[in-house]
Amino acid sequence: MTKSQPEKGMWVIGYGSLIFKPPPHVSHRITGYIQGYIRRFWQSSIDHRGTPSSPGRVVTLISLDELRNDRFFHNDLHTYEVHNGDNDTADTGADVDVDHHSIDQLQPQDLKVYGCAYYIAPQHVDEVKQYLDIREQNGYELKSVKFYIKEVQAEQDNVVDLISSTHIPASDLHWDEFGAYIESSIYIGGLDLKSFIGPESIHDTAKIIKTNVGPSGKNSEYLIKLTHAVRELNCRDYYLEDLLKLIEE
């Protein structure tokens, strides 16, 4: 009996290697962001950018709720996100005495991770899911989040133009007080999994990335390509920028 194909296409978010190495069968790509997360190289990699005896580092996301609940994350959050790029402390390695109340006052919309969302047509959904399940098997879990379309902040008078310019199926396009968004799948490493190693100081992370190599290539190549890919989205990620400076020293 022939297996029936999914009736709907699928959106997949890239915030790490998927930005510079998209999945197969991509029909079109849009640029945007998710809210309520930060991006960090706090996922160990034993199958792509490292080995079991010498794990590398790849990116994962940490949610605002997780950040609030664990004070160990607060200094890092304050250095890169709360300061909005005023990250002089990162160059010195100094700790910041973070007021717990300032973290509690953060809202999901205060934290944005920029990346890409890829549309996979219905006839390719099963194949791409299998591909991604293998590619992201080392400690990543599949979740669904809102992906906001960059530079679309309010509902436009001519929705047809937006659909035409972004190639988003009309049924996939939604609006809320923050702008236009789609519901999309995303792979995130869980904090309770063995592969999650955060929080890790940026200097320790840089030392590992600088020297590690795995089946997919040099760990430093991953960081370099990701940082440049984010720049090409006309976005800044101060954590990535600082990490890149450290491995280039």
Q: Is residue 101 part of a domain?
A: yes
Residue 88 lies in a domain: yes
pLDDT band of residue 155 (cuts 50, 70, 90) is low
The structure tokens listed for 173 are: 């396009």
**Is residue 21 classed as helix, strand or coil in its secondary structure?**
coil
Q: Express each pLDDT in 227-242 by its tens digit.
A: 999 999 998 899 999 9
Q: Is residue 19 part of a domain?
A: yes
Distance of alpha carbon 58 from alpha carbon 240, whole angstroms: 12
Any catalytic annotation for residue 200? no
- Tokens 């390509």 found at: 225
Question: 11 or 156: which carries more pLDDT confidence?
Answer: 11
Select the highest-mean-pLDDT range: 62-71, 155-164, 235-244.
235-244
Closest CA to 146 of 122, 171, 176, 121: 176
pTM for this prediction: 0.85
pLDDT 10s digits, 163-214: 666 678 888 889 899 988 999 989 888 888 888 998 999 999 999 999 999 9
Q: Which two three-digit tokens encode residue 142?
A: 């599949």
Phi, psi (rounded to 5 degrees) for 24: -70, 165
Beta-ladder partners of 115: 32
Say if residue 1 is exposed, middle or buried (CB neighbours under 10 Å; 0-12, 13-18, 19+).
exposed
What one-character-per-residue DSSP string does 165-224 give? HHT--GGG-EEETTEEEEEEEEEEE-TTSTTB--S--HHHHHHHHHH-EETTEEHHHHHH
pLDDT in the model for residue 98: 44
Residue 20's pLDDT is: 95
Which parts of the chain fold into alpha helices (H)?
A: 17-20, 64-69, 74-77, 88-92, 100-104, 125-135, 159-166, 202-211, 219-232, 238-248
Kindly report, residue by residue over 123-145, the tens digit of the pLDDT.
999 999 888 888 776 667 788 99
Rounded Cα–Cα distance for residues 11 and 31 (Å): 12
Q: How many CB atoms lie within 10 A of CB 56?
A: 27
Residue 199 forms part of a structural domain: yes
Name the residue range of residue 156's domain: 10-248
CATH number of the domain residue 156 falls in: 3.10.490.10
Domain count, the chain: 1
Q: Which of 66, 127, 136, 200 is catalytic?
A: 136
Contacts for 125 with CB less than 8 Å, ≥ 6 apart: 5, 6, 8, 9, 10
Q: Is residue 1 part of a domain?
A: no
Residue at token pair 């929705």: 159
CB 179 within 8 A of CB 166: no
Whether residue 23 is contained in a domain is answered as yes
pLDDT at 6: 62
- Is residue 5 a part of any domain in this protein? no
3 is a domain residue: no
Residue 190 and residue 2: Cα distance in Å, rounded?
35
